[in-house]
């Protein structure tokens, strides 16, 4: 049996620790961003991104079913603070996207919001899962540093990797980091559950 502290932590964050849910969505974002990077001018045929989005959604539903059938369902107590932070994050992401799209600032605001998402995940859901907590903070720091790189004279680092715009670069990184984070959370989740055995 797990320690009571760990049991409480797992019960509090059960669905959030089921990291594979993020993988199809992150992979979908990754493929759509790569497709967007290959476009010259406004895209005329949107078949591929629509198909990728639908396939991603399909896989998300499959992963959700897998977790429910193998690990069961837990309904969380969602605090007002958590709801507020999630809503604020979504609004900030939209504002950052608009500002970055117009090249108003030198730094990438969307990159900073993405960094905030990983920092939030680390502090809010993974406080007691040291490996997942550390990885989330490292990913957040990498995104934050790259977002602010232009302030120390590093301009358009994304062009070194063949990416056309900063928006695409940060979307790609968010997709890649989302996959990494999802897999690590899943490994933590499955390893932190005790083996089923007879109680004393």
73 forms part of the interface with another protein (CB under 8 A): yes
Calpha distance 50→178 (Å, rounded): 20
Which element (helix H / strand E) includes 179?
helix 166-192
Closest to another protein by CB, 59 or 71: 71
Closest to another protein by CB, 74 or 142: 74
User: From the CB of residue 181, how many other CB atoms can be counted at a distance below 10 Å?
Assistant: 23
Burial label, 35 (beta-carbon count in 10 A; 0-12, 13-18, 19+):
middle
12 forms part of the interface with another protein (CB under 8 A): yes
Closest to another protein by CB, 10 or 109: 10
User: From the CB of residue 185, how many other CB atoms can be counted at a distance below 10 Å?
Assistant: 27
Q: Please give the residues from 75 up to 114 whose contact with another protein meets the rule CB under 8 A.
A: 75-77
Q: Please give the residues from 116 up to 145 whose contact with another protein meets the rule CB under 8 A.
A: none
Find the shortest distance in angstroms from Cβ 129 to another protein.
Answer: 15
Calpha distance 127→32 (Å, rounded): 32
Q: Where do contacts with another protein occur on this chain (CB under 8 A)?
A: 1-2, 4, 7-12, 14, 65, 68, 71-77, 193-200
């Amino acid at each position: 049996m797990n320690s009571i502290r760990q049991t409480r932590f797992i019960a509090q964050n059960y669905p959030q620790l089921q990291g594979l849910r993020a993988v199809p969505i992150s992979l979908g974002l990754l493929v759509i961003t790569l497709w967007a990077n290959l476009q010259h001018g406004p895209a005329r045929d949107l078949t591929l991104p629509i198909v990728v989005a639908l396939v991603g959604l399909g896989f998300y539903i499959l992963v959700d079913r897998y977790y429910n059938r193998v690990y069961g369902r837990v309904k969380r107590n969602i605090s007002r603070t958590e709801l507020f932070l999630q809503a604020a994050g979504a609004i900030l992401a939209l504002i950052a996207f608009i500002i970055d799209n117009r090249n108003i600032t030198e730094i990438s605001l969307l990159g900073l919001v993405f960094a905030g998402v990983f920092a939030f995940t680390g502090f809010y859901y993974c406080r007691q899962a040291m490996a997942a907590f550390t990885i989330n903070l490292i990913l957040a720091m990498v995104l934050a540093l790259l977002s602010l790189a232009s302030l120390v004279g590093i301009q358009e680092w994304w062009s070194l990797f063949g990416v056309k715009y900063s928006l695409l670069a940060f979307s790609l990184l968010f997709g890649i980091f989302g996959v990494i984070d999802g897999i690590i959370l899943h490994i933590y989740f499955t390893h932190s559950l005790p083996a089923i055995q007879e109680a004393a």
